Amino acid sequence: MRTAEPHTARAQTTCGPGGEPANAHARTGELHAVRAQAIGGPSEKATEAQHARGKLTARERIGLLLDEGSFREVEQLRRHRATGFGLEDKRPYTDGVITGWGTVEGRTVFVYAHDFRIFGGALGEAHATKIHKIMDMALSAGAPLVSLNDGAGARIQEGVSALAGYGGIFRRNTRASGVIPQISVMLGPCAGGAAYSPALTDFVFMVRETSQMFITGPDVVKAVTGEEITQNGLGGADVHAETSGVAHFAYDDEETCIAEVRYLLSMLPQNNREYPPRLPCADPRTRRSQALLDLVPADGNRPYDMHQVIEEILDDGDYLEIHERWARNIICALGRLDGQVAGIVANQPQALAGVLDIEASEKAARFVQMCDAFNIPVITLLDVPGFLPGIDQEHRGIIRHGAKLLYAYCNATVPRISLILRKAYGGAYIVMDSQSIGADLTYAWPTNEIAVMGAEGAANIIFRRQIAHSNDPEATRAHLIKQYKTELMHPYHAAEHGLIDDIIDPTHTRETLIAALTMLHTKHTDPTHRKHGNPPQ
């Protein structure tokens, strides 16, 4: 049996500052002092400088994101081991990134946050290793990962070791894609290769004026092309939310931005093996909406706001729109029906008449893929006149980009329900989750028009000779258009041919969709055995 003597001997070799044997009280006091130094950061002056930029500190941000008192930090006392360029004299605790886990509304969430006060948040070897570890932990635990980004890129003094750290992050982003939700919150500059990690994640949040993303900054752009532009003009929040589509959300301040991250997390499952959390719902599932009878004009040429239709259908009219300001001719949103999360894809007649173009196809395709990855049913609301015609669209590859949306729907195994409100013309009708590409249930309102194209265009092609040889071409054209509508575009034509499951009273839409989702909740599809598909790019 072992005795206590070896333990006593070891205790005597550990001495305090004056040479006297240290005890647990002294060591605990030392630990608290070291921890206070790590939590406090480099200096009060550095904190004031961060606040002067209009930005919160990394720990303040984590405090807003996670439930109070829930954060558990990992490798708080980590320090870099690099030498040269004065680094050996600057070895702050945390090495400029705070990593750990906590809860959001009681559910586990992993987080890492760059601390701009330390090396400008730049990534070094130890910094990267901490991020790698927390990413691996998130994937192993099957919980979402949120990155609070405020860093100046790779730590130049550490050379290629810093660059390799980014490679490890990208590889883990890719491995976690579709397995756990990954959310990037841009709260400062993000330049060069560092921008690719957010681009690999599921959602990107940005804050106006203080966050930017670009591969090459304004100085490089000016040197190479002669173009002059500011950082915000090149890669600010509004640019990426409206023009490039890189950012899904843009907000005026950090507090609102982080609050919306919490809201988004409430709509997502922990991982791809779970369903999103279902909430109690006070909005009656059988609630009927008379307003729907007036919101959508029967005249297919009159615009209306699809947001109002969505609000009438969803629980309490509440939803979170994704990519709200990019590709506005299509709406992608997360909302609830009887407490169950659903993804909404809807044409927006107020923008470009709701046509599909390159940007709309890409936006909807990525959204459908995200929903499918995380077990979120997809409801598609159709009012689409077709694909946007034009030389620019054709030359930029509308065929290739439109095929992305087609592929995403065909590949999705979650419950899929489509509802045709009004127009559904041509290839766009097929692409927008028609029954022929695998929609589980297809409904239509009595105002629906499903056809290869509009009656006017169809009549001009089919009856062009009759019209040309008529004594009164305009009268003949009007008569033939009416005939085409009567024979092929009446609301019941598609139902008679089994292309839709039912024509419903618009006021019953909410009840119908909830009943369908309830039935499809246990849907199971055995995937085709393959390494992976080869979707259009």
Catalytic residues: 192-193, 427-428
- 271 — phi, psi (to 5°)? -160, -175
What's the half-sphere exposure (Cβ side, CA atoms, 13 Å) at 362? Answer: 15
Angle between helices 160-176 and 125-141 (to 10 degrees): 10
Place of tokens 């499918």: 372
Tokens standing for 504? 């419903």
**Side chain identity, residue 281:** C
* E-assigned strand segments in 130-257: 145-149, 182-186, 189-191, 203-207, 212-214, 249-251
Tokens matching residue 518: 């309830």
d(CA 60, CA 202): 24
For 119-180, where are the alpha helices, taking DSSP H only? 125-141, 160-176
Q: How many CB atoms lie within 10 A of CB 51?
A: 12
Region for 498 from its dihedrals, namely left if φ exceeds 0, alpha if ψ lies in -120 to 50, beta otherwise: left
CA–CA gap between residue 289 and residue 287 (Å, rounded): 7
Is residue 231 within 8 Å of residue 189, measured between CB atoms?
yes
Read off the DSSP letter of residue 98: E
Contact between 321 and 333 under an 8 Å Cβ cutoff? The reply is yes
Neighbouring C-beta atoms of residue 494, cutoff 10 Å: 24
The rounded distance, in Å, linking the Cα atoms of 67 and 513 is 34
Nearest CA among 269, 406, 241 for reference residue 326: 241
Residue pair 200/150 in contact by the 8 Å Cβ criterion: no
Of 459, 496, 494, which is closest to residue 478 (Cα–Cα)?
A: 459
